[in-house]
Amino acid sequence: MQVSVLKQLRLFNQINADLKRIENELIKFVKNSEYPLITDSATHLLAAGGKRLRPAFALLSGKIYGYQIEKLMPIAMALELIHMASLVHDDVVDASATRRGKPTVRANWGNTISMATGDYLLAKSLGLIAMINNPQVSRILAETSVQMSQGEIQQIRASFDVNQSIKQYYYRIKRKTALLISASCKLGALVSGAPKREIWALGAYGHSLGIAFQIVDDILDLTADQQVLGKPIGGDLRQGIMTLPMIIALKTSEQKSRLRALLAKVDKTEDEILEAIELIKQTKGIEESRRLVDRYIKKAKNYLLELPASPTRNALADLAEFVGERKY
Amino acid sequence: MQVSVLKQLRLFNQINADLKRIENELIKFVKNSEYPLITDSATHLLAAGGKRLRPAFALLSGKIYGYQIEKLMPIAMALELIHMASLVHDDVVDASATRRGKPTVRANWGNTISMATGDYLLAKSLGLIAMINNPQVSRILAETSVQMSQGEIQQIRASFDVNQSIKQYYYRIKRKTALLISASCKLGALVSGAPKREIWALGAYGHSLGIAFQIVDDILDLTADQQVLGKPIGGDLRQGIMTLPMIIALKTSEQKSRLRALLAKVDKTEDEILEAIELIKQTKGIEESRRLVDRYIKKAKNYLLELPASPTRNALADLAEFVGERKY
């Protein structure tokens, strides 16, 4: 459902055919004739979809300048592979967190296979980066990868930690989400011959948008219609991920100590999850977070003013609106 | 102790000072001012040492041609970081294997931190590869990384599997050990301006040597003096890693079914480990493996004949002898 809604958006019209090509190439690229198991797990991950936002950002950024799909394709693919690898390694972290009390044999084997699949996807992205053979591209992706691995460590340390600050929260989501989206915009522009100042502006746009995107994720995990979201809400609570609405609620709730106890608890019952959501909703946590989303979306759109006016610039502004308003 | 013995070897005289520089640079390079935890775990890994064989192979291969330490340094560092990352991810795999029955909270958290530390080291190596900015170097390292991740998957699948073939064994050790040593030799030669044919010969030397190196590891894990080895023997048995002597023993033992049962057992007692070692020693498993080591060492030395005669070529031949005869 997610992909089809995105496809309906006017803003994707200009890149839809190329996104489809990237999709097909990705599926071919992760196949491994020697090793069916790894093909299966990687293909499964790909097929599970996702919005392919990072390739879309790279292509749209390229559209403003000298768009050449042959140059953009390996970058868009590498970005998506890095994203998928980070997702699957995050799953290991989060699964360990939720299963702290009772890890199972299967869970553990699943974790090692997930780790190895992530390593494989990362290694495959290296091949693409080598093919691109542009030192600036390599440097940006290397620097992003280092920061992302720091976000991973922070995620391990911060889970179930009810004392973490908003600053620590931003540290984490910058590394887990914003930097790769920012890199997608920058790289799309860079290989399409954008001027330096505009590469910077697109990077700043992607960064602000990425922060907003993550905060929206946090809000949806507490408020979404489960049917629309496609998964049960409260996932962050279960996995011990402290999100922005939670951190604000922890500071302002009238039942602070009860909320603290609930959020810090490792194996929450379903009733406790519903109670925690209720307590958070009684605070201004969600409203405040919503306000911050709007601020970051506005910031993102402002950076676009550095770019020449064009239909694609408008599409990027629409995309920012969409991220701010999405319901899934 | 390990490092000091290597240092005493004549063959390291010509590169000792540069190896020392690489050591210092590595320690500086993995430091992370923002994130002390990751500095600690990465520095701990580095300090735990290892023989730095991959940097040594790169430098020695470079010595035969236009040796420039500035060109070789980032490659040697990247090779060691990739090696360390693979070690720490292997530990996660092997720990899951041995702890299949009873994973603990701490073990699980340890695993996720290990995974993240490996990701960090890999990301740092990307930065070096970007800096080197040589498409051939990038391609060789990317291809090696893909293959290494396949070895990782194979290691997960094959643990405690008493039915695996010698062919599967070679598949695994090629990817886990031989390819990165081979790449070390090739890359050292490549950036030092070696002719194509000789880059190939050095790669083939490294490959054969890597296979021999791994088989020696397998043998030592069953036969070494624990004091000299620096760790308890029988580690492979505990972790369910089927080594060459075991695979041969499984085919030829007079007490095949007892040996199968012991090797397939997940939580072996110390007595069972000693019994398994005893049963393996009663077969020709170790002798046969030893014979194969000698054959691969000979093969490795033969490839060196493709290179111009020089003191460094002799040193590489000595290094092959050393790998064949090492006691730790």
Which residues of chain A neighbour B34 with C-beta distances below 8 Å?
150
pLDDT at residue number B101: 47
A96 contacts B109? CB cut-off 8 A: yes
Residue B2 has pLDDT above 60, yes or no: no
Model confidence at B12, pLDDT cuts 50, 70, 90, reads confident
Which residues of chain B neighbour A142 with C-beta distances below 8 Å?
123, 126-127, 129-130
Give SS3 for B9. coil
Q: Which of B150, B174, B180 to mutate to test the interface with A (most CBs of A within 10 A)?
A: B150
A93 contacts B112? CB cut-off 8 A: yes
Of A35, A89, A138, which is closest to B119 when you measure between CB atoms? Answer: A89
A116 contacts B38? CB cut-off 8 A: no
- Per-residue pLDDT, averaged over B238-259, amounts to 96
Residue A82 has pLDDT above 90, yes or no: yes
- Kindly report the three-state secondary structure assignment for every residue of chain A: CHHHHHHHCHHHCCCHHHHHHHHHHHHHHHCCCCCHHHHHHHHHHHHCCCCCHHHHHHHHHHHCCCCCHHHHHHHHHHHHHHHHHHHHHHHHHHHHHHCCCCCCHHHHHHHHHHHHHHHHHHHHHHHHHHHHCCHHHHHHHHHHHHHHHHHHHHHHHHCCCCCCCHHHHHHHHHHHHHHHHHHHHHHHHHCCCCCHHHHHHHHHHHHHHHHHHHHHHHHHHHHCCHHHHCCCCCHHHHHCCCCHHHHHHHHHCCCHHHHHHHHHCCCCCHHHHHHHHHHHHCCCHHHHHHHHHHHHHHHHHHHHCCCCCCHHHHHHHHHHHHHHHCCC
What distance in Å separates residue B112's CA from the closest CA in chain A? 6
The ipTM is 0.88
The share of chain A scoring above pLDDT 70, in percent, equals 90
Which residues of chain B neighbour A146 with C-beta distances below 8 Å?
120, 123-124, 126-127
End-to-end Cα distance, chain A: 10
Which residues of chain A neighbour B266 with C-beta distances below 8 Å?
none
Of A100, A111, A116, which is closest to B105 when you measure between CB atoms? Answer: A100
A123 contacts B149? CB cut-off 8 A: yes
B103 contacts A96? CB cut-off 8 A: no
**B124 CB-near residues (< 8 Å, 6+ apart):** A146, B29, B30, B81
Of A105, A115, A138, which is closest to B92 when you measure between CB atoms? Answer: A115
Residue B7 has pLDDT above 60, yes or no: no
pLDDT at residue number A3: 44
Distance CA B146, CA B32 (A): 27
Number of residues written out for chain A: 328
Which residues of chain A neighbour B139 with C-beta distances below 8 Å?
127, 130-131
- Per-residue pLDDT, averaged over B245-264, amounts to 97
What distance in Å separates residue A44's CA from the closest CA in chain B? 16
Distance CA A312, CA A309 (A): 8
pLDDT at residue number B229: 73
Q: What distance separates the 2 farthest-apart alpha carbons in chain A?
A: 59
Q: What is the dihedral of CA B302, B305, B310, B312, to 10 degrees?
A: -40
Residue A97 has pLDDT above 70, yes or no: no
- Six-digit token string for A68: 């050449």
Residue A294 has pLDDT above 80, yes or no: yes
User: For residues A47 and A70, which has the higher predicted lDDT (pLDDT)?
Assistant: A70
The share of chain A scoring above pLDDT 90, in percent, equals 66
A145 contacts B126? CB cut-off 8 A: yes
pLDDT at residue number B212: 97
Model confidence at A107, pLDDT cuts 50, 70, 90, reads low
B119 contacts A108? CB cut-off 8 A: no
Number of residues written out for chain B: 328
Q: Which of A39, A108, A137, A161 to mutate to test the interface with B (most CBs of B within 10 A)?
A: A108
pLDDT at residue number A109: 60
Q: Which of A131-140, A228-237, B155-164 has the lowest mean pLDDT?
A: A228-237
Of B120, B131, B139, which is closest to A130 when you measure between CB atoms? Answer: B139
Of A100, A122, A138, which is closest to B130 when you measure between CB atoms? Answer: A138
Which residues of chain A neighbour B127 with C-beta distances below 8 Å?
139, 142-143, 146
Of B120, B135, B146, which is closest to A124 when you measure between CB atoms? Answer: B146
User: For residues B142 and B42, which has the higher predicted lDDT (pLDDT)?
Assistant: B142
Residue A4 has pLDDT above 50, yes or no: no
pLDDT at residue number B1: 35
A120 contacts B149? CB cut-off 8 A: yes
Q: Which of A83-87, A256-260, B72-76, B178-182 has the lowest mean pLDDT?
A: A83-87
| pLDDT tens digits for range B79-119 | 999 999 998 888 887 776 665 444 444 565 677 888 888 99
What's the whole-model pTM score? 0.90
Mean pLDDT (chain B) is 88
User: For residues B245 and A115, which has the higher predicted lDDT (pLDDT)?
Assistant: B245
Residue A286 has pLDDT above 60, yes or no: yes
Which range scores top for mean pLDDT: A29-43, B88-102, B169-183? B169-183
Q: Delineate the domains of chain A, giving CATH numbers in brackets.
A: 15-325 (1.10.600.10)
What distance in Å separates residue A251's CA from the closest CA in chain B? 26
Q: Which of A42-51, A168-177, A183-192 has the lowest mean pLDDT?
A: A42-51
A146 contacts B127? CB cut-off 8 A: yes
Mean pLDDT (chain A) is 88
| pLDDT tens digits for range A114-164 | 888 899 999 999 999 999 989 999 999 999 999 999 888 888 888 899 999
Which residues of chain B neighbour A154 with C-beta distances below 8 Å?
35
Of A35, A100, A105, which is closest to B108 when you measure between CB atoms? Answer: A100
Residue A101 has pLDDT above 50, yes or no: no
Give SS3 for B123. helix
Give just the sign of the alpha carbon dihedral A200, A205, A208, A209.
Answer: negative
pLDDT at residue number B110: 76
A157 contacts B145? CB cut-off 8 A: no
A35 contacts B149? CB cut-off 8 A: no
Q: Which of A77, A117, A150, A155 to mutate to test the interface with B (most CBs of B within 10 A)?
A: A150
| pLDDT tens digits for range A193-212 | 999 999 999 999 999 999 99
Model confidence at B182, pLDDT cuts 50, 70, 90, reads very high
Of A101, A117, A123, which is closest to B146 when you measure between CB atoms? Answer: A123
Which residues of chain B neighbour A99 with C-beta distances below 8 Å?
108
Scanning every residue of chain B, which has its alpha carbon at the shortest distance from the alpha carbon of A150? B120
A153 contacts B37? CB cut-off 8 A: yes
A105 contacts B105? CB cut-off 8 A: no
pLDDT at residue number A188: 98
Which residues of chain B neighbour A141 with C-beta distances below 8 Å?
126, 130
Residue B128 has pLDDT above 70, yes or no: yes
A113 contacts B96? CB cut-off 8 A: no
What distance in Å separates residue B3's CA from the closest CA in chain A? 30
B127 contacts A142? CB cut-off 8 A: yes
